[in-house]
Amino acid sequence: MSKRLNSRVAFVTGGSRGIGAGIVRRLASEGAAVAFTYQRSSAVAEALAASVRAEGGRAQAYQADAADTAALTQAIDDVAREFGRIDILVSNAGILRLGSVEELSLEDFDQTLAVNVRAVFVAAKAALPYMGEGGRIINIGSVNADRVPFPGAAAYAMSKSALKGLVQGMSRDLAPRGITVNNVQPGPVNTDMNPEDSDFATALHGVMALQRHARPEEIGAMVAYLASPEAAFVTGASLNIDGGFAA
């Protein structure tokens, strides 16, 4: 594995499992010092950090609920204080609340916005004072921003569509500082939230060109590219990695 990210400091929200863990492992394998947040299970988070360190990487876990503005901002401040700066921000924390317009509660709607959209903005505002030229802001969206071939996902799809506009606008705001801003939009990924062997997965595969789930490490590879010097000319983009889900 190349060390394209040597001496870089990364902050990943929701990094203890699933896609987040794949991102943490990949960034660390490429030389970055990776701080990541988790919401509940300290044992899972610490196990991931220990595993990364055992492989020669650098990783540290911080407890913070992405929907809690004060906690998320404090975690970013703590990381910047310990490591001196933040070069790469990956907003990965997200929730999925399914339900038709008639059924979905306003509480679930508001929570979807709080985690999937507002927390992304909060994290960026908190990290920017510690980010210099060459900084990278990368959000984990969803291919459902472009296509929703099943019912019950209106609020979730809306939240991920919002990230596209946010990224386009932020890319204009931050270009003078030499900071790029992009979305990664995964299709189905094999995690405990969306396992590849479920009945729902079979239905998803039916609308895909590649009829399988992605692996978390495949999403991590896309994020690592966007975080690298090779992606210096990529900004304001929403990049699908979806096995042809939106094709």
Other Cβ atoms less than 10 A from the Cβ of 156: the count is 24
Measured between its terminal Cα atoms, the distance across the chain in Å is 31
242 phi and psi angles, rounded to 5 deg: -135, 10
Other Cβ atoms less than 10 A from the Cβ of 84: the count is 10
The rounded distance, in Å, linking the Cα atoms of 71 and 94 is 16
What 3-state class would DSSP assign to 157? helix
Q: What is the pLDDT of residue 189?
A: 97
CATH number corresponding to 9-241: 3.40.50.720
The rounded distance, in Å, linking the Cα atoms of 36 and 52 is 12
Q: How far, in Å, are 32, 92, 169, 222 from residue 52 at the CA level? A: 11, 18, 35, 19
Q: What is the pLDDT of residue 1?
A: 62
Task: Please name every residue paired with 136 in a beta bridge, in sequence order, or none if there are none.
Answer: 88, 180
Which H or E element spans position 123?
helix 119-127
Q: What's the half-sphere exposure (Cβ side, CA atoms, 13 Å) at 9?
A: 17
| b/e 32-71 (16+ beta carbons within 10 angstroms → b) | bbbbbbbbeeeeebeebbeebeeeebbbbbbebbbbebeb
SS (H, E, C) 68-80: CHHHHHHHHHHHH
Other Cβ atoms less than 10 A from the Cβ of 25: the count is 21
Q: What is the pLDDT of residue 194?
A: 87
Stated pTM of the model = 0.96
Instruction: List active site positions.
Output: 156
The rounded distance, in Å, linking the Cα atoms of 145 and 159 is 8
* The token pair that represents 85 in the structure block: 């700066």
The pLDDT profile of the chain, 247 residues, written as one tens digit per residue, is 679 999 999 999 999 999 999 999 999 999 999 999 999 889 999 999 999 999 999 999 999 999 999 999 999 999 999 999 999 999 999 999 999 999 999 999 999 999 999 999 999 999 999 999 999 999 999 999 999 999 999 999 999 999 999 999 999 999 999 999 999 999 999 998 889 988 888 889 999 999 999 999 999 999 999 999 999 999 999 999 999 999 9
The rounded distance, in Å, linking the Cα atoms of 188 and 8 is 29
